[in-house]
Amino acid sequence: MDNLELKKTANEVRKGIVTAVHSAKSGHPGGSLSAADIYTYLYFKEMNIDPKDPRKPDRDRFVLSKGHTAPGYYSTLANRGFFPVEDLTTLRHTGSYLQGHPNMNEIPGVDMSSGSLGQGISAAVGMALSAKLSNESYRVYTLLGDGEIQEGQVWEAAMFAGHRQLDNLVVIVDNNGLQIDGNIADVCSPYPIDKKFEAFNFNVINISGHDFEQIEAAFTQARQTKGKPTAIIAKTVKGKGVSYMENNAGWHGKAPNDEEYAIAMKDLEKAGEELCQK
């Protein structure tokens, strides 16, 4: 898939995010939209996965440590063919398998339940360790929020991964700069993020999380790196793609009303049309 196709796919993923959250009347659009390009790259280009065989033993694993951005995850999985895109409108509804936060026992393609911040990275480390113990070649990816890394457990996991030289592990930090209470730098600054991971013996790559060339280069470099886990610090825009949500902490965990939904879809339709003209 070339970069134009990836962009078009990410735009479809964004539509699914907005539609799901609108239907649920709750949920987390901001951090889902900021990570949409990374989700898309992982599931449409990077990872060895098969929607027809979601649990094949040699698959690459993904753990959504920032579990609240499930709408982005679900929309990506649906667009990739793990389950029908139409089901996204059941998000957070009573009886739906699309729970507010990922449930590995209900959702095809989900490798680990998550939602409580700081915990997913440890599970990803456990998966990467397991591959090393059994000499298996699958790789493990985990996506964290930049607010999430305020959790101490993240650094326990990072210390272990660096110590064990888990070069089959890629930690991606979605650095959109905002958390519920505001700017991460104002709430309790985790900066410098790259230096912290470096100090824990990670190979660290800083990129724009919306530039597929940079995303591809980073994941390629991660594959080539031996003896160290990789941390990709992806600078992103929270709410990316929906005009009024961009860089607005208020859209961290809020659903658009009907009117707002219409504007959001119009933004994304327009972006899609522009991509088609390229």
**What is the smallest separation between the CB atom of 175 and another protein, expressed in angstroms?**
22
Query: Judged by CB under 8 A, does residue 119 bind another protein?
Result: yes
129 versus 187: smaller Cβ distance to another protein: 129
205 versus 231: smaller Cβ distance to another protein: 231
Q: Closest Cα to residue 168, out of 117, 124, 208?
A: 124
Separation between Cα atoms, residue 264 and residue 93, nearest integer Å:
22
Interface size with another protein, residues (CB under 8 A): 33
Q: Indicate the SS3 state at residue 25.
A: coil
Among 94, 105, 137, 277, binds another protein (CB under 8 A): 105
Contact 200, 162 (CB under 8 A): yes
Query: Judged by CB under 8 A, does residue 50 bind another protein?
Result: no
16 versus 162: smaller Cβ distance to another protein: 162
116 versus 220: smaller Cβ distance to another protein: 116
**Interface residues for another protein in 169-208 (CB under 8 A)?**
none
Strands 182-183 and 178-179 come out as antiparallel
**What is the smallest separation between the CB atom of 161 and another protein, expressed in angstroms?**
10
**Interface residues for another protein in 73-102 (CB under 8 A)?**
none
Q: Is the peptide bond before 192 cis (omega within 30 degrees of 0)?
A: yes
| Structural tokens at position 197 | 């991971």
Query: Judged by CB under 8 A, does residue 168 bind another protein?
Result: no
Separation between Cα atoms, residue 128 and residue 115, nearest integer Å:
20
Among 35, 85, 127, 232, binds another protein (CB under 8 A): 127
If you count DSSP H runs as helices and E runs as strands, how many of each does the chain have, helices first? 10, 7
| Structural tokens at position 100 | 């507010």
| Structural tokens at position 229 | 């886990």
Q: Which span (37-45, 111-119, 186-194, 201-209) binds another protein, by CB under 8 A?
A: 111-119
Contact 197, 222 (CB under 8 A): no
Interface contacts to another protein, rule CB under 8 A: 61, 63, 103-105, 111-113, 115-116, 118-131, 133-134, 152-153, 156-157, 159-160, 163
